[in-house]
Amino acid sequence: MNGDLSVPNIVHQLSLNENFAPPLPGVRDAVISTADRSHLTLDALSDGLTATIAERLGVPASDVLVGAGSGAVLQQLLHGIAGPGTEVVHAALSFWGYGPLARNSGATPVAVPLVDGYGTDLEAMAAAVTPRTRAVLLCNPNNPTGAVLGHAEVRGFLDALPPDVLVVVDEAYREFADRAEIADALALYREDPRVVVVRTFSKSHGLLGLRVGYLVAAASVVTPLRGTTPFFRVSTVAQAAATAALAAEEQMRAQCEAVCVERDRLRAALVNRGLEVPPSAGNYLWLPLGADGPPLVEFLAEHGVEVRDVGGLGVRVTVGTREANDAVIALVTEYTRTGFSPAAEALVTRLRAALHAEWPEHTDPVLGISRYALLTPGKLLRPLLLAAAAGAVGGDVEQVVPAALAVEYLHVGSLVHDDVIDGDEMRRGQPSVQHRYGTSDAIATGDALMMRTFGSVAACVERGVPEAAALEAVRAISDAGVDVCRGQALEGAMASDPAHPLADYLTVMALKTGALFRGACRAGAVLGGAEPAVVDAVSRYAEHLGLAFQMYDDLLPYLSDPAITGKSGLSDLRNLRPTYPVLLAHETGTPEQRARVVSALSGELPPEEAFTALRDVLDETGALKRAVEHAEAEVTAAKACLAGLPPNEHTAMLAEVANTSIDRSR
């Protein structure tokens, strides 16, 4: 167990980046031996440990400063070089302590955002340096994202800085990184007196509870700091433990390698379950979940696993023992479960792997933004529908995988444009494309994804699908795309007017949601080789499914937490958009209730107040209950359309999708 007795019911404590390997050889004996002399001063200023570190690194002892953890030596350094009227530049998101450490010294911290929320933006950091800057702090690997800076990158960064600015490289997690990929900060220190290297025994050497760290810098930097050493000194027990740990380097590296193996295993498992998990060079993984993070953290804690929510931006998971990591995998599997059968979940996993393979990291702006929009923890419902429809009619599912991805491109492209139209800031638990990258890039990205659709369908021919079937599938998906646009325009015309007949909104739902479901299922059946009557039956199934799905989607703001849905429940109100339960309430309510609906959609009330007013009317009129009943009726009609299909596992998947369309929280 990785237990934390201070937190009730926590079996695995994975929020503190601890090293769960046993003490290195010699450490326990050194601690016990020194504890017998803990009443004596002994080596008060750590001269012996300083000499040992210097010898091991091949540097002068005058260039080494030992302190009670890397945070302590950083504080000692900043007290010595910074103060009121000066600045310290650091990345954000990065080690949480950099800002407080700078402020403790009297300096002003200057936080520079990461690139895409992951890697250190050295160009922006160089631009943030001013005549007041005394130091730039680089966390390498970066905590919590795990990104690594290479040697050439840091070398080039030094060339861009003034001669009087120190570059402090915090290497707390260095031993968990690939030495061929991470910058050699010690080599840079040897050739440039502006480089300060900070390291700790807490992580790789497992001495977190004893607090030992050190920095290596030019004597001109270190010597003025020694006057404050008595106030940051290391206990004799900790000194002895660190000395023993240094002597066990081979075992230390073996333990770190074992952590890396577990880290990569855990990452692969989480990616396979639909989470975005970028590569990490630390003993932790970063899950950029945004608003989806806190619910996952809470779920894991309820089941005995503590991980860290980082400011609502994402979740950091420490790599624990194999037992702890297996617990995380099992719990995330449960948390992300779609409600489908194992066969359906396996198909979604296959489609997700194909999607990731099609969209590697890219420096091209449009392709990079497209990847950002696509590789989110979405359900891949439309790709599943296409693939399942092909399998249900007896087709080869592997042959249609490119077409399954194609409908996701069309769907996500339309969502990107939707967010531009609506001004929505969140999508699938992360900043929307237009909010993060701007309107122009969002429009270009949405266009590019839609254009990619047709080439992806055509790729099925290379897998053995007849050209005529691929052409017919393109036609089905193209027609669906046009209908989506028609639905978007019709919905816009209904804004702020709940007096529109409910039938008009049913048309909007059939076009905006049902059309793409229909296009996916129809294309799948065609690509699977179905006869026209079967294709039509599958298409009718999809149309009923689309209505059920959208009806329930309109209910979600009133039934679910926006932290779970990944999108604000106030989005429709901000855009004065009437939805199915609202129109139902207006159509069946009393004159007084109708007036309250009109008022809520007038734009005169704050969205939060309008939402509360609408919720009251929906409860009073019974519109919520009736809307659920209408959605359930559409599900029944959808499943009835499957009666003539072969009773195989893929037909069962289509029925499962219908059932889960009204049994979900997002």
Nearest to 189 by CA among 172, 169, 174: 169
Q: What is the pLDDT of residues 48-74, one digit of tens each?
A: 999 999 999 999 999 999 999 999 999
CA-angle at 60, arms to 58 and 66, nearest 5°: 95
Q: How confident is the model at residue 648 (pLDDT cuts 50, 70, 90)?
A: very high
Q: What is the pLDDT of residue 558?
A: 78
Residues 449 and 314 in one domain: no
| pLDDT tops 60 at residue 664 | no
Out of 250, 267, 297, pick the residue that ends a domain.
Answer: 250
CATH number of the domain that 74 lies in? Answer: 3.40.640.10
Residues 481 and 359 in one domain: yes
Q: What is the pLDDT of residue 574?
A: 59
Residues 513 and 578 in one domain: yes
Contact 634, 661 (CB under 8 A): no
CA distance 414 to 433: 12
Asked if residue 665 is part of any domain, the answer here is no
Residue 235: which H helix or E strand, with range?
A: none
Asked if residue 21 is part of any domain, the answer here is no
Q: What is the pLDDT of residues 305-331, one digit of tens each?
A: 999 999 989 999 999 999 999 999 989
| pLDDT tops 90 at residue 502 | no
| pLDDT tops 90 at residue 340 | no
Query: With left for phi above 0 and alpha for psi between -120 and 50, is residue 69 left, alpha or beta?
Result: left
Q: How confident is the model at residue 428 (pLDDT cuts 50, 70, 90)?
A: low
pTM value is: 0.63
* Per-residue tokens: 565: 């849905």
Q: What is the pLDDT of residue 191?
A: 96
Out of 288, 306, 335, pick the residue that ends a domain.
Answer: 335
CA-angle at 121, arms to 117 and 125, nearest 5°: 130
Cβ neighbours of 462 (radius 10 Å): 10
Q: What is the pLDDT of residue 3?
A: 47
Residues 88 and 116 in one domain: yes
Q: What is the pLDDT of residue 600?
A: 82
Q: How confident is the model at residue 302 (pLDDT cuts 50, 70, 90)?
A: confident
Residues 394 and 289 in one domain: no
Q: Choose the weakest-confidence range: 379-393, 433-447, 489-503, 583-597.
A: 489-503
Give me the domain span that covers residue 269.
Answer: 252-335
Residues 85 and 161 in one domain: yes
Strands 108-113 and 87-92, how do they pair?
Answer: parallel
Residues 482 and 576 in one domain: yes
| C-alpha R_g of the chain | 29
Query: What dihedral angle (degrees, nearest 10) is formed by the CA atoms of 489, 492, 498, 501?
Result: -10
Asked if residue 1 is part of any domain, the answer here is no
| pLDDT tops 60 at residue 429 | no
Q: What is the pLDDT of residues 520-531, one digit of tens each?
A: 999 999 999 999
What mean pLDDT comes out for the span 585-612?
A: 85
Q: Choose the weakest-confidence range: 175-189, 247-261, 423-437.
A: 423-437
Domain count, the chain: 3
Share of the chain above pLDDT 70, in %: 94
Asked if residue 115 is part of any domain, the answer here is yes
CA distance 608 to 74: 45
Residues 282 and 320 in one domain: yes
Residues 378 and 305 in one domain: no
| pLDDT tops 60 at residue 665 | no
Q: How confident is the model at residue 534 (pLDDT cuts 50, 70, 90)?
A: very high
Question: Can you point out the beta strands (E) in 292-382?
Answer: 305-306, 308-310, 314-318
Out of 230, 250, 270, pick the residue that ends a domain.
Answer: 250
CA distance 29 to 241: 9
If one compares 415 and 11, the residue with the highest pLDDT of the two is: 415
Handedness of CA 571, 575, 579, 584 (dihedral sign): positive
Cβ neighbours of 629 (radius 10 Å): 11
Nearest to 162 by CA among 84, 76, 89, 78: 89
Q: Choose the weakest-confidence range: 38-42, 238-242, 654-658.
A: 38-42
Query: With left for phi above 0 and alpha for psi between -120 and 50, is residue 137 left, alpha or beta?
Result: beta
CATH number of the domain that 319 lies in? Answer: 3.90.1150.10
Residues 394 and 309 in one domain: no
CA distance 501 to 494: 10
Q: What is the pLDDT of residues 265-301, one digit of tens each?
A: 999 889 878 888 999 999 999 999 988 899 899 999 9
CA distance 34 to 237: 5
Asked if residue 4 is part of any domain, the answer here is no
Asked if residue 3 is part of any domain, the answer here is no
Q: Across the chain, what does the average pLDDT equal? A: 90
What mean pLDDT comes out for the span 202-211?
A: 94
* Per-residue tokens: 294: 């806190």
Q: What is the pLDDT of residue 531?
A: 97
Cα–Cα distances (Å) from 116 to 119, 120, 288, 412, 640, in that order, read: 7, 9, 10, 19, 46
Asked if residue 172 is part of any domain, the answer here is yes
Residues 635 and 654 in one domain: yes
Q: What is the pLDDT of residue 5?
A: 43
Residues 651 and 593 in one domain: yes
Q: What is the pLDDT of residues 439-474, one digit of tens each?
A: 999 999 999 999 999 999 999 999 999 999 999 999
Q: Choose the weakest-confidence range: 174-178, 346-350, 384-388, 571-575.
A: 571-575
Q: DSSP string covering 468-524, please?
A: HHHHHHHHHHHHHHHHHHHHHHHHHHTTT-TTS-HHHHHHHHIIIIIHHHHHHHHHH
| pLDDT tops 90 at residue 614 | no
CA distance 383 to 449: 15
Contact 195, 167 (CB under 8 A): yes
Q: What is the pLDDT of residues 559-593, one digit of tens each?
A: 754 433 334 455 555 556 778 888 888 888 999 99
Asked if residue 666 is part of any domain, the answer here is no
Handedness of CA 37, 215, 81, 101 (dihedral sign): negative
Q: What is the pLDDT of residue 430?
A: 64
Share of the chain above pLDDT 90, in %: 69
CATH number of the domain that 432 lies in? Answer: 1.10.600.10
Q: Choose the weakest-confidence range: 301-310, 518-527, 537-546.
A: 301-310
